Chains A and B, each alone.
Chain A
Amino acid sequence: MSLDRAGVAGDPASPIHRLDPRAKIVGLAGVTLVAVSTPLRAWPAFVACALVLAAIAAIARIGIATIWTRLRAILPLVVFVAAFVPFARGGPAVEIGPLSLSEAGLATFALVTAKATIGALGAVLLGATTPFPEVLHGLERLRAPRLLTVIAGFMYRYVFVIADEARRMRSALAARAYRPRHLGQAAALGRLVTGLFLRSYERGERVYLAMVARGYAGAMPRLRALAFRPADTAFLAALALTLVPLRVLAA
């Protein structure tokens, strides 16, 4: 997956983009939670979730093409697994040509696909309306484990550096006519990965020195505080008022 395709999209000045990251994390996780906890017979709740997410995307002016490119990176994995269920489940079957599909299995497939799509869509919208450092800041303030947010922060900073190094090493291999055609030639790739690991490991030590040199003592300080404003409360209230009654009625 290309790293360039991540990051904020749409209109950065939209009301959704300007929301506090905590509001967006809680709100979108809430939508996902409603979807995940809904049984198939209460399908209108799925429609409601999808409509809410579509409204958020529209307000943030994120195009369908952007959403589709990003969804494509997440969804196939989930749907791929779910696609086998109709063949594996027992019980009453539906015959489609030569295929015999379990009815219960088909229902599970539809359910998993709906839930996964809504969950993934929520994540895509969060990512497209909130810079990643802000997401981490929000998670930190929501008391997510500090170690995880710090690791994610470093990963975000250095994934570009490491990807660059990998690209250079691959070009160096290609420049010397390396074109692996059978398994025996894969050894060079193994060495490339080893090299990359060692470089990253050494970099880790140097980064740590640079941090200590600037007074690091175990905590990552934040310059800006997050501000939870009336708009954020309104956003969460609107989501809750739309989805909670639907979910309760549908149950």
Chain B
Amino acid sequence: MSCAIDARGLRHRYPNGVAGLDGVDLQVAHGERVAVLGPNGAGKTTLMLHLNGLLTGEGELEVAGIRVGEGDVRELRAAVGLVFQDPDDQLFMPTVGDDVAFGPLNLGVPREAVHERVAAALAAVRMEHVRQRAPHQLSLGQRRRVSIATVLAMRPRLLVLDEPSANLDPRARRELLEVLDAIDRTMLVVTHDLPFAAQLCERAVVLSAGRIVADGPCAEILHDERLLAEHDLELPAGFDLAAAAPA
């Protein structure tokens, strides 16, 4: 059976010589939710950009049954939904509705069906009421949820989120967690918000200096204080891992 993500020996070197990825091996099964943890500059964003062909490197990479670098890029981009960290980068259309429609229209989905997809995607993130609004009229938490809707409308098989909880206040963070928890899809969550990872994902991998250095159940990885410390990761003081495990 094909994996949602199958990377073998994935390497990427930036033009300035810096190695972004230094031999990444990662297999993610369909339906899994995996947290990608790691310090700044570990290659998390580089890995994410590879998943939908925005960057290419050496090694083998198959995502949602499509070999990256060969064949139809459009099919790959339909299968992999990237949610960027800053919603102001993700939301570039004048209204929320237009933005959510952007992806499906590019995929050639008929207009009638696009209307339905926009409504369904906004409902999935509980943002139906802002369809006519401009992105700059929304709060950061709202913009982040709309960003997720923009890729959900493309009906991707894999959802990749870059630092979804960054800069959110506790309430917006909890609402986002609830929204993501209700989305039934393979998910890769790039983050250094460890409690967020613990609450959302069953499995975690640690990416450090362009390599996967640990891979296992999220709770186990987060219990390993030495591992975390070695890679500049830290749970907030007093955080109770046992209470946070995903249902």
Contact = CB atoms under 8 A, between A and B. Distances in A.
Nearest to A159: B136
Interface string B63-101: 000000000001001100010101011111111011001
Contacts of B151: 214
A153 B88 CA distance: 14
B245 interface: no
Nearest to B84: A210
A240 interface: no
A202 to B, nearest CB: 10
Given A211-B92, A214-B154, A223 B101 contact: yes
A153 B115 CA distance: 22
Given A213-B52, A213-B54, A223 B136 contact: no
A153 B106 contact: no
A132 interface: yes
A161 interface: yes
Contact of A206 (B84, B115, B118, B154): B84
Given A223-B111, A223-B118, A206 B89 contact: yes
Contacts of B102: 211, 214, 216, 221
A43 interface: no
A215 B94 contact: no
24 contacts: A132-B94, A133-B94, A153-B93, A153-B94, A157-B135, A157-B136, A161-B136, A206-B86, A209-B54, A210-B84, A210-B92, A211-B92, A211-B102, A212-B54, A213-B77, A214-B102, A214-B151, A214-B154, A215-B154, A216-B102, A221-B106, A222-B105, A223-B101, A223-B115
Interface in B110-153: 111, 114-115, 118, 134-136, 150-151
Contacts of A213: 52, 54, 77, 82, 84
B85 to A, nearest CB: 9
B21 to A, nearest CB: 17
A223 B98 contact: yes
A156 B94 contact: yes
Pick the 4 closest A-B CB pairs, nearest first: A215-B106, A221-B105, A133-B94, A214-B103
Given A209-B54, A214-B150, A223 B105 contact: yes
B107 interface: yes
B209 interface: no
Contact of B136 (A154, A160, A217): A160
Contacts of B49: 209
Given A161-B136, A215-B78, A216-B106, A207 B54 contact: no
A207 B103 CA distance: 14
A212 B52 CA distance: 10
Contacts of A210: 82, 84, 89-90, 92
B131 to A, nearest CB: 11
B97 A223 contact: yes
Contacts of A158: 88, 92
Interface string A189-208: 00000000000000100110
Contacts of B92: 154, 157-158, 207, 210-211
A153 B74 CA distance: 25
B92 to A, nearest CB: 5
A193 B72 CA distance: 42
Interface string A42-64: 00000000000000000000000
B215 to A, nearest CB: 26
Contacts of B103: 214-215
A215 B154 CA distance: 10
